[in-house]
């Protein structure tokens, strides 16, 4: 059947299936008593109270940095195995004032005991409370073990003052969902996120384990314990999980004999912040610094430095400490959830015991060659603009690779359904292969989530994610090796015959005839006809037509998501691009302007005016995933005598049933998601 390009005004662009990327504080005076040598427990925390005060800082329990002098001694509390809180010794070396910013001081300490002389600072000790003995012989909390140096030979660490940590609010009167809405944003271009097409890193987070300046005092990274994933899945997921100052570590889930029902969040206890729970577990581990009533303060540094958050937290379990010549770390697991973190600031994370934030259920069904019957996995992922996409990709990858590595040659057919809290549903369906688009699976899931969560009009979280994967131990792929047209010069409205040659994986070359009809009002001039796969269409579209990604509200964001998710590896994309230049105002392309007017309007000055390359794009369904592209230069002329005679056409493969192979059916109209 002859395919007809949608009739548009001359030099108009139509989008192909669009591309695949914070108080209230309550406290009362606390009694404090030094921990005895036989009991490593912290001084008792302040009892709950409903009397509001300006600060949770209690001079009878807490110490100001102004009181600290070199040579003062004391102890710290942390968990080195299981849930037992143990003491280590500390001595003050110095107080570094304004070390990490104005009015942000650091107390430098030397540690001993619990093997710290051998291990040095340990990732996972972030938040470990440090107590110093004052001139009256009383032990008072000075702050949290929080910073260190990479490759340090001695167990020297930086302590975040407790007075700074307790200034972090543990609750917000404004819901987080309202804080993230900017309201004043009138337009937003999603193109940078689409081009990125991967989880967004936190540039403020420093990762000791990732190398860098060993002379720089850095916040300790948080060990990210990952359990329930295969070695192959862990290797594939590690680069993504390292983003945001986290150190991914393979760990094991707890068995019943290890879980301690009496363990609770208290100063020195291990605290976990989950990203994924269920059939696999991904949790960041640190240490509780202080409990004031139902309020919890931990880490002594940021998690992701985002201010108001709403993240689940719970009791952690430490399997062991792994000493390292670079930076030592704890391996642990999340034991149970006990409350929520509501603030994530540079000096601490803070929250409350009790209510646990809702998480997002994820169900993944996988059928692999190794098993006769499909397996279904169940997960829950944290609601967070960065960790939700990360958790979704981790869940899916962990499920698909749960039994073993994927075969050397494979094809994965998948469908995914994302239901959002605004009532919208996003459907994804495509095919990935080992030869070309395996990584696209993660991008296809990450991109709509990122657009829904990181747009400026309001975060929209999924209420559920359901996915199905069928893995086949073979490659289904057509590699595009050539494409030619029957002529080099055409008249507007004429049918052009394109002969597309592909090389199926493991087979011989096949040539197919794809006829297209040019618009009747196509302007005369030179054009580039690009025939290729979805990746080439994405590259050309994002480069030449940025205005297509302008959005003005949440409805337009989800309209864009719909277009993005309709891109398919099993389509042939045909793009007819002019050699001229057009201009758009917002999302509206201006048609038929003289070249001089286009040049004037394209000058810098108006943020909503963008130049673009006028083009028409269509897609044609294909019987297998496609890889490759080619360009053909043609001319359009209204003068019959200038129209060249047909070139000799290649012999096309005979037509086959549409459900199998053969000539593709007519392409969808531009803008319909082709």
250: Cβ–Cβ under 8 A, 6 or more apart, which residues? 226, 227, 229, 231, 234
* pLDDT bucket at 176, cuts 50 / 70 / 90: low
pTM for this one?
0.79
Q: What's the whole-number mean pLDDT along residues 104-119? A: 93
DSSP 659: T
Residues 6+ apart with CB under 8 A from 673: 17, 18, 562, 563, 566
Q: In the predicted model, is pLDDT for residue 670 greater than 60?
A: no
Please tell me whether residue 521 adopts helix, strand or coil conformation.
Answer: coil
Which of 19-28, 79-88, 99-108, 140-149 shows the lowest mean pLDDT across its residues?
19-28
| pLDDT tens by residue, 559-594 | 999 988 888 899 999 999 988 777 777 667 776 666
Average pLDDT, the chain: 80
Mean pLDDT of 362-388: 92
Tokens 């309209």 correspond to 559
DSSP 522: P
Q: Which residue has the higher pLDDT, 256 or 548?
A: 548
* Residues 6 or more apart in contact with residue 588 via CB below 8 angstroms: 547
Sorted by sequence, the CB contacts under 8 Å of residue 349 that are 6+ apart come out as 168, 273, 286, 297, 298, 299, 302, 303, 341, 343
What is the pLDDT, as a whole number, of residue 650?
Answer: 66
Q: Is the pLDDT of residue 649 over 50?
A: yes
Tell me: pLDDT of 36 over 80. Answer: no
Give percent above pLDDT 90 in the chain. 49
The reported pLDDT for the residue numbered 672 is: 37
Provide the 3-class DSSP secondary structure of residue 672: coil
Residue 154 has pLDDT above 50, yes or no: yes
* Residue 653 confidence (pLDDT): 62
Report which of 294, 313, 308, 298 is spatially closest to residue 349, judged by C-alpha positions. 298
Question: In this model, does residue 307 exceed pLDDT 90?
Answer: no
Residue 13 predicted with pLDDT over 70: no
Confidence at residue 549, expressed as pLDDT on a 0 to 100 scale? 87
Judge whether residue 513 has pLDDT over 80: yes
pLDDT at 44 over 50: no
Alpha carbon 552 to its chain's center: 23
Residue 643 has pLDDT above 80, yes or no: no
pLDDT for the residue numbered 441: 77
pLDDT at 158 over 80: yes
Q: Which residue has the higher pLDDT, 326 or 651?
A: 326
Q: At residue 346, does pLDDT exceed 80?
A: yes
Please enumerate in sequence order all residues whose Cβ is within 8 A of that of 56, keeping only pairs 6 or more positions apart, or say none.
25, 27, 46, 166, 290, 292, 295
Confidence (pLDDT) at 598:
63
pLDDT at 480 over 80: yes
pLDDT at 46 over 70: no
Confidence of residue 614 (pLDDT cuts 50, 70, 90): confident
Q: Does 138 score more than 70 pLDDT?
A: yes
Q: Answer yes or no: is pLDDT of 466 > 90.
A: yes
131-140, 273-282, 475-484, 647-656 — which is least confidently predicted?
Answer: 647-656
pLDDT class of 9 with cuts at 50, 70, 90: very low
What pLDDT shows up at residue 666? Answer: 33
pLDDT digits (tens, 9 = 90+) for 255-301: 555 667 889 999 999 999 999 999 999 999 999 999 999 999 999 99
Distance CA 592, CA 598 (A): 9
At 575 the pLDDT is 94
CB atoms within 10 A of CB 119: 19
> Can you give the residue ranges of every domain in the chain?
3-20+477-642, 63-185+207-356, 360-472
Taking residues 63-68, report their average pLDDT.
Answer: 95
In angstroms, the CA 618 to CA 537 distance is 10
Answer CATH for 360-472 from 1.20.1270, 3.40.50, 3.10.20, 1.10.15: 3.10.20
Which range has the worst mean pLDDT, 155-169, 182-196, 296-310, 598-612? Answer: 598-612
For 542-560, the three-class secondary structure string (H helix, E strand, C coil) is HHHCHHHHEECCHHHHHHH
The stretch 179-203 carries a mean pLDDT of: 62
β-strand 73-79 against 629-636: which pairing, if any?
unpaired
Is residue 652 very low, low, confident or very high in pLDDT (cuts 50, 70, 90)?
low
Query: What's the confidence (pLDDT) of residue 214?
Result: 53
pLDDT in tens, 411-420: 889 999 999 9
Q: Which two tokens stand for residue 21?
A: 């990327």
pLDDT of 20 above 70 = no
Q: How confident is the model at residue 108 (pLDDT cuts 50, 70, 90)?
A: very high
pLDDT bin (cut points 50, 70, 90) of residue 205 is very low
Helices (H) and strands (E) in the chain, counts: 10, 36
Statement: residue 180 has pLDDT above 60: no
Mean pLDDT check: name the lowest of 551-555, 593-597, 640-644.
640-644
């Amino acid at each position: 059947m002859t395919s007809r390009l949608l009739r548009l005004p001359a030099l108009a662009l139509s989008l192909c299936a669009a591309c695949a990327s914070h108080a209230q504080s309550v406290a009362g005076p606390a009694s404090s008593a030094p921990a005895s040598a036989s009991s490593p427990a912290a001084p008792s925390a302040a009892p709950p109270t409903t009397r509001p005060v300006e600060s949770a800082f209690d001079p009878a329990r807490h110490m100001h940095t102004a009181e600290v002098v070199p040579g003062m001694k004391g102890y710290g509390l942390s968990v080195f195995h299981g849930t037992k809180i143990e003491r280590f010794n500390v001595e003050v070396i110095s107080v570094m004032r304004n070390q990490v910013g104005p009015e942000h001081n650091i107390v430098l300490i030397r540690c001993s005991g619990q093997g710290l002389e051998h291990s040095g600072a340990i990732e996972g000790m972030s938040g470990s409370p440090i107590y110093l003995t004052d001139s009256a012989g009383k032990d008072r909390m000075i702050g949290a073990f929080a910073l260190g140096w990479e490759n340090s030979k001695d167990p020297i660490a930086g302590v975040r003052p407790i007075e700074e940590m307790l200034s972090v609010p543990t609750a917000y009167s404004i819901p987080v969902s309202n804080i993230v809405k900017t309201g004043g944003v009138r337009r937003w271009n999603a193109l940078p996120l689409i081009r990125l097409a991967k989880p967004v890193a936190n540039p403020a987070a420093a990762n000791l384990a990732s190398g860098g300046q060993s002379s720089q005092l850095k916040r300790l990274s948080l060990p990210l314990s990952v359990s329930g994933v295969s070695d192959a899945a862990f290797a594939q997921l590690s680069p993504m999980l390292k983003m945001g100052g986290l150190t991914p570590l393979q760990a094991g889930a707890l068995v019943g004999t290890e879980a301690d029902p009496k363990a609770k969040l208290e100063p020195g206890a291990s605290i976990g912040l989950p990203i994924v729970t269920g059939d696999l577990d991904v949790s960041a581990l640190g240490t509780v610094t202080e409990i004031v009533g139902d309020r919890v303060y931990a880490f002594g540094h940021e998690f992701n430095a985002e201010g108001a958050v709403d993240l689940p937290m719970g009791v952690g379990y430490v399997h062991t400490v792994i000493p390292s010549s670079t930076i030592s770390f704890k391996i642990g697991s999340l034991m149970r959830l006990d409350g929520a973190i509501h603030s994530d600031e540079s000096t601490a994370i803070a929250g409350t015991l009790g209510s646990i934030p809702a998480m997002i259920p994820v169900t993944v069904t996988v059928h692999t060659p190794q098993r006769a019957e499909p397996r279904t996995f169940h997960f829950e992922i944290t609601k967070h603009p960065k960790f939700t996409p990360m958790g979704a990709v981790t869940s899916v990858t962990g499920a698909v690779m749960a039994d073993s590595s994927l075969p050397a040659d494979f094809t994965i057919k998948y469908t995914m359904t994302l239901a959002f809290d605004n009532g919208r549903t996003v459907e994804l369906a495509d095919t990935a292969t080992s030869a070309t688009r395996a990584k696209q699976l993660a991008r296809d899931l990450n991109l709509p989530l990122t657009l829904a969560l990181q747009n400026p009009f309001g975060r929209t979280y999924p209420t559920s994610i359901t996915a199905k994967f069928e893995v086949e131990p073979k490659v289904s792929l057509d590699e595009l090796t050539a494409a030619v047209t029957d002529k080099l010069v055409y008249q507007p409205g004429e049918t052009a015959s394109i002969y597309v040659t592909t090389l199926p994986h493991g087979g011989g070359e096949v040539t197919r005839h794809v006829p297209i009809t040019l618009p009747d009002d196509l302007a005369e001039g030179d054009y580039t006809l690009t025939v290729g796969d979805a990746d080439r269409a994405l590259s050309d579209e994002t480069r030449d037509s940025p205005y297509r990604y302008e959005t003005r509200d949440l409805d337009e964001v989800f309209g864009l998501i719909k277009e993005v998710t309709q891109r398919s590896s099993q389509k042939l994309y045909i793009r007819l691009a002019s050699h001229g230049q057009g201009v758009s105002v917002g999302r509206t392309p201006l048609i038929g302007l003289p070249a001089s007017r286009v040049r004037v309007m394209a000058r810098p000055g108006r943020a909503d005016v963008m130049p673009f390359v006028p083009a028409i794009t269509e897609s044609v369904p294909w019987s297998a995933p496609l890889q490759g592209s080619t360009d053909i230069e043609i001319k359009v002329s209204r003068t019959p005598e200038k129209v060249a005679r047909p070139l000799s056409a290649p012999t096309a493969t005979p037509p086959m049933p549409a459900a199998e192979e053969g000539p593709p059916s007519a392409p969808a109209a531009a803008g319909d998601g082709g």
